[in-house]
Amino acid sequence: MKRSEKQFAVITGASMGLGKSFAIELAGKRMNLVLVSLPGQDLPALAGELRERFGVETHYYETDLSVTGNVMDLAAWINNHFRVNLLVNNAGLGGSRSFKEAPAGYINNIVQINVMATSLLTHQLLPNLMEQSRSYILNVSSLAAFTPMGYKTVYPATKAFVRSFSRSLNAELKDSNVFVTVVTPGAMKTSQEITSRIEKQGWLGRLSLLDPDQVARKSIERMFRRDPEITLNPISWLFLNLTPLWIKLPLMTRAIRREVA
């Protein structure tokens, strides 16, 4: 397969939830897609559906992004075959459980996917992005980036990394053709199980719940308007930014503890 002359958007974590919403939104804008997700998540079917529905060219790559070598192999495959003008680093891993009782692999996977895969894939695809006349990077962080919280512990730290990394890289690339945006949504109604789990947190959880299709649509719109940071939960954002840590940390920890119980 020779390198395509067309331009493509790369989306990680594309098989479900927000990633799938991003894929549908971009296909609706007639953008060709490279979809990435874990094996066994019906990614070939999604690629075919988008191809038929929107008439765009779609390709897919199934891999575990928690493994550094897999990220490097994915980047090499993309660079060899596609011209990339948009990278959506959506793949992410979280969860709520006691840090003491969490398996080491659970902690490692969160760090590897949220931190290593996001930064390394961006690094490896950046020369490709810079070859195009105008390119974008959209990184998915979280409202959790604005506060630590017990029973999540590692997850907020990794999402704070994504937010800081994105803002820093955008500043570094300000005179280039690549614009970097970070979006910090709250929890999303990606399934009934997730919605029920978040609602156990009480009013704090319900306040942050969003529809993934709306998140994808608004994120893409504002990214193309060159907004460096996108906040979609203004009330939650104000609460997390204006409330002193000594108040919000125990409050958030109690809310998450209800989800774990």
Q: What is the pLDDT of residue 233?
A: 85
Give domain status of residue 254, yes or no: yes
Give domain status of residue 1, yes or no: no
Q: What is the pLDDT of residue 208?
A: 62
Q: What is the pLDDT of residue 172?
A: 98
Show the domain range for 15: 7-260
pLDDT exceeds cutoff 90 at 205 = no
Q: What is the pLDDT of residue 189?
A: 64
Of residues 92 and 235, more confidently modeled: 92
Q: Which of 60, 61, 151, 155 is catalytic?
A: 155
Q: What is the pLDDT of residue 234?
A: 82
Mean model confidence pLDDT for the chain: 92
Of residues 133 and 256, more confidently modeled: 133
Give domain status of residue 59, yes or no: yes
Q: What is the DSSP letter of 226?
A: T
Q: To the nearest whole percent, how much of the chain has pLDDT over 90?
A: 79
Cβ pair 242, 194 in contact under 8 A: no
CATH number at residue 193: 3.40.50.720
Label residue 238 by pLDDT band (50, 70, 90): confident
Mean pLDDT (whole number) for 203-215: 74
Of residues 175 and 239, more confidently modeled: 175
When divided into structural domains, the chain yields a total of 1
Give domain status of residue 192, yes or no: yes
Q: What is the pLDDT of residue 54?
A: 98
Q: From residue 51, how far is each of 25, 34, 119, 259 by CA, in Å?
A: 13, 11, 29, 39
Query: Is residue 60 among the annotated active site residues?
Result: no
Of 72, 60, 5, nearest in space to 36 by CA: 60
pLDDT exceeds cutoff 90 at 204 = no
Of 206, 209, 198, 110, nearest in space to 162 by CA: 110
Give domain status of residue 155, yes or no: yes
What are 181-198's pLDDT values in tens digits?
Answer: 999 998 776 655 555 555
Give domain status of residue 245, yes or no: yes
Greatest Cα pair distance in the chain = 57
Of 137, 143, 127, 117, nearest in space to 238 by CA: 143
User: Could you tell me which residues come within 8 angstroms of residue 195 by beta carbon, excluding any fewer than 6 positions away?
Assistant: 189, 209
